[in-house]
Amino acid sequence: MGLVPVARVRCALLFRRLLGSAMNSTPYHTRILEALSQLLNVAVFNGDSDEMLSSRSHRERWKLEAWIDWLFGQGHCKEAYEWEKANYLHRRTT
């Protein structure tokens, strides 16, 4: 009878380990929007799969940047670019 709670804890820990980065503090809808942005960047604009459309539109100074900033708030594309630049450098150094 005492083993049941221990087994539940072990299963929960294994489940979290298997999910890995999916169990993070980023809200689900944000991760979905980021994935859609990356999909659009690859499928429509033939871009890199690790780069969001917001970041790329800022980096390449596309007119699309104004539309994205209007939709998500002023400076969104620049912030996305800065975040991805820091995140990319972090991944490359680890």
Q: What is the pTM of this model?
A: 0.65
pLDDT band at 24 (very low <50, low <70, confident <90, very high): low
- Output phi, psi for 45, to 5 deg: -110, 5
Under 8 Å between Cβ of 59 and 41: no
What is the per-residue pLDDT across 28-65, written as a single tens digit (0 to 9) for each? 888 888 899 999 999 999 988 888 999 999 999 999 99
Q: What's the distance, Cα to Cα, between the start and end of the chain in Å?
A: 44
Which residues, other chains included, contact 68 with Cβ-Cβ below 8 Å and sequence gap of 6+?
53, 54, 57, 76, 77
Which residues, other chains included, contact 59 with Cβ-Cβ below 8 Å and sequence gap of 6+?
81
pLDDT band at 7 (very low <50, low <70, confident <90, very high): low
